[in-house]
Amino acid sequence: ANYVAFDAQRAIEYVNSLIDSKQCDFFIAGQNLSAYEFGDGNLNLVFRVSDEQNNSIILKQALPYARCVGESWSLTLDRARIEAQVLLNHGAICTEYTAKVLHYNHDYALTILEDLGSLQILRAAQNNAQQFPKLAEHVASYLSHTGFYNSDFYLAAQHKKALVKQFTNPELCQITEDLFFSDPYTEHERNNFPVQLAPQVKALRDNTVLKLEIAKLKANFLSNPQTLLHGDMHSGSIFVDTNTTKMIDPEFGFFGPVGFDIGSFIGNLLLNYCAQAGHIEEFVTRRNYQTHLLSCIVETYTLFEQHWLNFIDTKTVDASLSSKAYAQYFMKNVLQDAIGYCGAELIRRTIGLAHVVDIDSIADEATRLSVQKQILALGEQLILNAHTCETKDAFFSLLISQLN
Ligand code: SR1
Ligand code: MG
């Protein structure tokens, strides 16, 4: 079949064709299906297809361009393959925390996924100051399991290299390379910040020490295939409820540095932390919620590191990588990378192309600007001081000193 972008009717016809050819075990035959498109992300079409009993699935289709920009920014359809295959890889390691793939079609660049609509997107929930007591444990478990079992500690070298090839994702990686590490530090039409932030932006761009650290982070992102990353671990890529956490949308997945995903996740919690100055008026209530977010960061990183150290100690296959000394060395580098990527996420979400609603929805302009300045300063300090953090506790102290 030749690629065609779907509308709701085509989505229904496609699912009916799967039912007719008995390739579908998610709907029974002979029902009227309905569908609507509701994607609000930056890149893709997302349809919900339902039967008469309200059973539903999600049909996600890649467009040959970036939806948030338009047809002028063409983008590979191969990202649909990457996304489906990362979900299958991560789902095999961590079923509980990975959205389930029900069907994939290469020609149409589409994936059918379980419908997680009974859950909430983490970002929306956190903008309503909701708390998720299991979030830290679940994210730490997902990132450490998928990270370790796709790493050189566990995989035979030739198998790992075959996977690196399978998950080579140059176009989507280039988006990250540009949006995280290049655009914010130079004049670029994709950047997006209010004129009032121009002095802060200029100071970042003039800071040669900061730019050296950004160059190191970018080089590490470009050339350090440590594990199969999710690649876009922001709060819009996570579905939650009180007891459940499911990762979605790993179309930016590739083999990259272990610190990138955990750093991005923590960066998004910090964006929400800072944004609360514009959302929760009452001081004690705001402090309570911010304390919860900080505890979530501490718990996530602590459990993530514990799992990794335990896996290295007990499950490493390559004997030459299994020493305690190497484990300590490796995890110190992961920590420092994570702090740097966290800082880069803070800066790029404030002055680059892709913002977060946590910040942009702050109605009062003066408050919004003051939050944005706080985030830029925090991002800068994290990047500049990452190399001084020898332990996770030093990272937590750095964070606390910057947030007070
Ligand atoms: C053009 S894509 C912009 C951003 O959206 C995605 O979710 C990634 O975070 C990317 O950087
Ligand atoms: Mg996405």
The tens digit of pLDDT for each residue in 328-386 reads 999 999 999 999 999 999 999 999 999 999 999 999 999 999 999 999 999 999 999 99
Residue 35, beta-bridge partner list: 49
Cα(63) to ligand 1 centroid in Å equals: 14
Predicted ipTM?
0.98
Cβ–ligand 1 contact at 173 (below 6 Å) = no
| Residue minimizing CA distance to atom 5 of ligand 1 | 42
Q: Which two tokens stand for residue 208?
A: 């040669």
Cβ–ligand 1 contact at 66 (below 6 Å) = yes
The tens digit of pLDDT for each residue in 249-306 reads 999 999 999 999 999 999 999 999 999 999 999 999 999 999 999 999 999 999 999 9
Residues of the binding site for ATP: 44, 60, 114-116, 249-251
pLDDT score recorded for residue 92 = 98
pLDDT score recorded for residue 41 = 80
Cβ–ligand 1 contact at 175 (below 6 Å) = yes
The parts of the chain modelled with pLDDT lower than 70 are: none
pLDDT score recorded for residue 77 = 97
Using the atom order of ligand 1, give the atom closest to the CA of residue 232.
9
Q: Which ligand is nearest to the CA of 173?
A: 1
Residues of the binding site for substrate: 232, 348
pLDDT score recorded for residue 33 = 97
pLDDT score recorded for residue 328 = 98
pLDDT score recorded for residue 149 = 98
Cβ–ligand 1 contact at 238 (below 6 Å) = no
Using the atom order of ligand 1, give the atom closest to the CA of residue 234.
9
Domains, the chain, ordered by start: 8-114 (3.30.200.20), 120-403 (3.90.1200.10)
Q: Which ligand is nearest to the CA of 264?
A: 1
Q: Reduced to 3 states, what is the DSSP secondary structure of residue 27?
A: coil
pLDDT score recorded for residue 42 = 83
CA-CA distance, 315 to 303, in Å (whole number)?
17
